[in-house]
Structure 1
Amino acid sequence: MRFHPDKLLLQQYAQGDVDATQGLALAVHLESCPECHQQVVRFERQLGAKLEHQAMKPSDDLPSEDMLSQILTLPQKSREELLVPSKPHQVTVNSRRFTLPKALYPFRDRIGDWRNYGGKVFSAVIDLEEEARVNLMYMAPGVSVPQHTHKGYESTLVLHGGFSDEDGHYRAGDFLLKDASVKHSPTTPQDEDCLCLSVLTEPMLFTQGVARIFNMFGKGLYP
Structure 2
Amino acid sequence: MTLLKKTVAACAVALAGLAATSSHAALTLGNIPGGAATNDFLSTDFDGAGPGVPIGPVEGWYGADLYLSGGPAQITVDYFGAEAGFLNSFAGFGSCGFNHGGNNTFTGSPLQTCVVNNVASGLLSFAFTSPLGVASNGSNPDNTTDGIPNFFVSLTSIAGFGGLDTTLDMSTSGSGTIAWLFFDDGGAGDDDNHDDMVVRLTITGGSVGIPEPGTIALLGAALLGMGAVRRRRASK
- The normalised TM-score by structure 1 is 0.26
- The normalised TM-score by structure 2 is 0.25
Select the structure with the greater relative contact order (CA < 8 A; seq sep ≥ 6).
2
Structure whose alpha-carbon radius of gyration is higher: 1
Structure with higher strand content: 2
